[in-house]
C-alpha cells in the first residue's frame, strides 16, 4: 500500500507544490484519502470531481478551476 509520504514525493516530482490545483477523478476509495492528505502535505488544492458528473460539467470545472494536474482512476476512463 502506498503511503502519504511516497505519494507526496511523487506528486512533488511531477511539479505539484504549494497552491497547485489538482483534480481527483475517481470513485470513493481509500487511496482518495491518501491523495487528499498528500495534496495538503504539499500545500496543493485538491479539487474533487464526482465520477458520475456530466461530461460538460467536468469540462467546465477543469477549464474554470485553474487546474494544473489531474489524477484519475483507470476504471473511470469511459468519459
Residue 76 — very low, low, confident or very high, per pLDDT cuts 50/70/90? very low
Using a 10 angstrom Cβ sphere, with 0-12 exposed, 13-18 middle and 19 or more buried, the burial of residue 53 is middle
Tell me how far apart the alpha carbons of residues 40 and 12 are, in angstroms, rounded to a whole number.
Answer: 12
Does 78 have pLDDT greater than 70? no
What is the rounded (10 degree) CA torsion for 78, 57, 18, 3? Answer: -30
Architecture of domain 4-76: 3-Layer(aba) Sandwich (3.40)
**Is pTM beyond 0.85 here?**
no
Per residue in 19-72, pLDDT (tens digit) is 999 999 888 888 889 999 999 999 999 998 988 889 999 999 989 999 999 998
For the chain, the domains span 4-76
Amino acid at each position: 500500500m502506498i503511503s502519504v509520504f511516497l505519494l507526496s514525493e511523487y506528486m512533488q516530482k511531477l511539479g505539484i507544490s504549494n497552491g497547485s490545483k489538482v483534480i481527483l477523478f475517481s470513485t470513493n476509495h481509500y487511496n482518495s484519502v491518501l491523495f487528499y492528505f498528500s495534496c495538503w502535505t504539499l500545500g496543493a488544492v485538491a479539487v474533487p470531481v464526482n465520477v458520475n458528473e456530466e461530461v460538460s460539467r467536468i469540462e467546465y470545472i477543469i477549464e474554470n478551476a485553474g487546474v494544473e494536474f489531474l489524477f484519475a482512476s483507470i476504471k473511470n476512463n469511459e468519459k
